[in-house]
A and B are shown apart, each in its own frame.
Chain A
Amino acid sequence: MSDLSVHSPMANAPIPENPIYGLMAEFDSAQELLDAAHKTHEAGYHKLDAYSPFPIEGLAEAIGFHKNRVALVVLIGALVGGISAFAFQYWVAVITYPTNIGGRPYFSWPSFIIVTFELTILFGGISSAVGMIALNGLPMPYHPVFNVAEFAKASENKFFLVVESADPKYDPAATRSFLNGLAPRMIAEVPS
Chain B
Amino acid sequence: MTMTTTAIKLNRSDLMAPPVAQVMQQRSLIIGVVGAVAAIAGAFLAPASFYSAYLVGFMFWLGLSLGCMAILMLHHLVGGSWSIVIRRLLESGMMALPLMAVLFIPILLNLPKIYFWARPESLADPKIADIAHSYLNFNGILIRAILYFVIWFGMAYFLNRWSTEQDSIAGQSTLRFRALSGLGMVIYSFAISFAVIDWVMSLQARWISTIYGLLFVAGEALSAFCFCVVIETILAKRKPMSDYLTDTEVHDHGKLMLAFVMVFAYFNFSQWLIIWAGNLPEEIPWYKARLNGGWQYVGLFLVIFHFAVPFALLLSRQLKRKAGTLVWLASWLIIMRMVDIYWHIEPAFHSEVHLSWVLFAILAGMGGLWMAYFFHNLRARPLLPLNAPQTLRLLEREH
Contact = CB atoms under 8 A, between A and B. Distances in A.
A62 to B, nearest CB: 14
A75 interface: yes
Nearest to A58: B399
Interface residues on B, range: under 10
Contacts of A71: 317
Contacts of B269: 113
A110 interface: yes
A4 to B, nearest CB: 46
Main secondary structure of the interface of A (DSSP, over half): helix
Given A71-B317, A75-B315, A111 B279 contact: no
A102 B277 CA distance: 9
A102 B279 contact: yes
B315 A113 contact: no
Contacts of B277: 110-111
A186 interface: no
Interface string A104-142: 000000110110000000000000000000000000000
Interface in A30-55: none
Contact of B273 (A75, A102, A110): A110
B279 A114 contact: no
A114 B317 contact: no
Interface residues of A, number: 7
Interface string A72-90: 0001000000000000000
B207 interface: no
Interface string B263-275: 0000001001100
A113 B279 CA distance: 17
Interface string B194-207: 00000000000000
Nearest to B397: A57
Contact of A110 (B276, B315, B317): B276
Contacts of A113: 269, 273
Contacts of B273: 110-111, 113-114
Contacts of B279: 102
A7 B317 CA distance: 49
A136 B109 CA distance: 66
Contacts of B272: 110
Contacts of A114: 273
Nearest to A74: B315
A93 to B, nearest CB: 14
Contacts of B315: 75
A102 B315 CA distance: 38
Contacts of B276: 110
Nearest to B270: A114
A2 to B, nearest CB: 51
Given A71-B317, A110-B273, A113-B273, 9 more contacts: A75-B315, A102-B279, A110-B272, A110-B276, A110-B277, A111-B273, A111-B277, A113-B269, A114-B273
11 contacts: A71-B317, A75-B315, A102-B279, A110-B272, A110-B273, A110-B276, A110-B277, A111-B273, A111-B277, A113-B269, A113-B273
Closest 6 A/B residue pairs (Cβ): A110-B276, A110-B273, A111-B277, A113-B269, A71-B317, A102-B279
